[in-house]
Amino acid sequence: MNKEIQQTEKSPTLIIMTFILLALLGFLGYMAWVVFSLPLMKEQLTNTISVVLLLDDYQKFSHPILYASIVTCLICLLIILEIYRRSVKRKEIEKTHHQAILSLLDESSFIGDADTKKDFEVSEVINLVISRLMSHKKITQEISASLSAAVNETRVVSSQLAESSEHQSEEITIIIKMMGEMAASMQTQSAELKNTVIDIQQISALSKKSNVIIQNSVIGLTNTQNKINDKTKIIKKLSEKFKDIESVAFSLDDMADQAHILGLNAAIQASTAGESGKGFAVIAEEMQKLAERSGTSIKHITSMINNMREQVDSFGLSVDEVAHTITKDKKVSEEASLTIKKIDATSSLLVDRIDIVVNSLLEQEQQSSKASKMLNVIQDISSQLLFGTKNTADIMDEIADKTSLTSNDSNEVDTLKFLDQKPIAGELVSTQVPDFSFGPGENKK
């Protein structure tokens, strides 16, 4: 009978302790869930950081993007270090709670196995359990406050990181647009330069043809000049021959004058001879007429020779002028040929330089395309980072809600304050003393 009464008196206390233990186990399970979820968050942030580190390959292209990436990486590292520190702290607290639960379970088992003669000690144990629960309540409240502060700080960092990611995504979008415009401009310039190269090559081909024509003209002028020089020599020789003929004509003219004088003398002698000199006078007259005709013919021939010599001299001068003109034309042609050669060499050099510029533009276009692809990857990473920060914010909100629930659960421990240590001990003693008194009476009976 006494044992049944003791069991009925112990059952409310055991129920309360069972509820308390279940609450502690639930809290510890929740803390374990939080601790186990942190590595997933750490892994996600680590993956994000490892992807963000790829921005180092783009440092030559855009320094603002590199700085933003470094800042993002540092923020993520700080978040990971803070989460790791708090996870270690939570593990230590979890270990402490686990040891406290084990001690409570040991004490509860001690209470369940205690002899009925030691119910007063059970009351002390209950009071000890309550005091420890109150101390654990303080620890729980401190943990909740620390966790709330960490959650708020993480939420603020996540918000800042989300804003930074959005701003970075907008800047990357603008840069991608600018690079697309630059690529289009490079393509246009490359096409124009290629057309310019084609025009220059056509001009170079025409200049080569012109150079060939000019060289042929120079050769023709050289041949003509040589022929003119030969003709000039012939004309000079002809002029000299005319001079010789003119001197011969002058000699004949002198001979005609002398023959005329001799005929005149013969006529004078024949007139002095009388009748016997008439025949000789006729011969002398004929000789005078022949001398006059010879003199007239010689003068006419001399005049014609003079005209011909003058014409030959004039023709020689004309030939000399033509030769001089041909020499000038030859020099001009040679200078034109040299100029065309210089133009051809300059055109070739210009074509080579334009080819270098075109190749450089093509390389810049390829680099721009690669940079655009990298920026697209970075934009995807920023989008994933933004999505991750939003998920982190949601998780922090959920942790905050769970923390508030934990705080409420810890506040429920205040309901145990009605179990004051002295009343509980007195009540247990008052209810248990009759058991000790009745025991001997029954034995006596």
* Owner of token pair 């055991």: 14
Burial class (CB in 10 A: 0-12, 13-18, 19+), 285: middle
pLDDT at 435 over 50: no
Residue 312: per-residue pLDDT: 78
* Angle at alpha carbon of residue 28, lines to 23 and 34, rounded to 5°: 130
Q: Which helix (H) or strand (E) holds 57?
A: none
- Where is pLDDT greater, at 166 or 226? 226
Question: Which of 50-64, 118-132, 189-203, 414-428 has the highest mean predicted lDDT (pLDDT)?
Answer: 189-203
Give the separation between CA 401 and CA 280, rounded to whole angstroms: 174
421-444 and 119-273 helices cross at what angle (nearest 10)? 140
Give percent above pLDDT 90 in the chain: 0
- Tally helices (H) and strands (E) across the chain: 5, 0
Amino acid at 263: G
pLDDT tens per residue across span 232-241: 788 788 878 8
User: Taking phi first (over 0 means left), then psi (-120 to 50 degrees means alpha), and beta for anything else, what does residue 274 get?
Assistant: left
- Average pLDDT in the 130-159 region? 63
Torsion of CA 63, 65, 71, 72, to 10 degrees: -160
Least confident of 12-26, 205-219, 315-329: 12-26
pLDDT score for 421: 41
115: alpha, beta or left, given left = phi > 0 and alpha = psi -120 to 50?
Answer: beta
Output 147 or 268, whichever has higher pLDDT: 268
Structure tokens at 17: 């302790």
User: Tokens 């509980």, residue?
Assistant: 424
Look at 153 and 363; give whichever has higher pLDDT. Answer: 363
Query: For residue 359, how far is the Cα from the chain centroid?
Result: 14
| DSSP state letters, 200-253 | HHHHHHHHHHHHHHHHHHHHHHHHHHHHHHHHHHHHHHHHHHHHHHHHHHHHHH
Output the six-digit token pair for 210. Answer: 């012109």
User: What value, to the nearest 5°, has the Cα angle with vertex 40 and ends 35 and 43?
Assistant: 125
What per-residue confidence (pLDDT) applies to 423? 43
> By three-state DSSP, how is residue 420 classified?
coil
Asked whether the CA dihedral 54, 56, 60, 63 is positive or negative, the reply is positive
Residue 294 pLDDT class (50, 70, 90 cuts): confident
pLDDT of residue 297: 81
Higher pLDDT, 381 or 416: 381
Which residue has 């080819």 as its token pair? 355
For the stretch 46-80, pLDDT in tens is: 544 443 444 344 444 445 444 555 555 566 566 66
Average pLDDT of the chain, as a whole number: 66
What is the structure's pLDDT at 416? Answer: 47
Give the Cα separation of 131 and 346 in Å (integer): 101
Around Cβ 124, how many Cβ atoms within 10 Å? 14
CA atoms within 13 A on the CB side of 349: 6
Distance of alpha carbon 250 from alpha carbon 291, whole angstroms: 14
The Cα 36–Cα 28 span in angstroms is 12
Number of residues that this document lists for the chain: 445
Cβ-in-10-Å burial (0-12, 13-18, 19+) of 381 comes to buried
For residue 435, the number of C-alpha atoms closer than 13 Å in the C-beta half-sphere is: 19
Of 112-126, 183-197, 382-396, where does mean pLDDT reach its minimum?
Answer: 112-126
CA 34 to the chain's CA centroid: 45
Rg (Cα) of the chain, in Å, rounded?
Answer: 67
Whether 429 has a pLDDT exceeding 60, the answer reads: no
pLDDT at position 87 over 60: yes
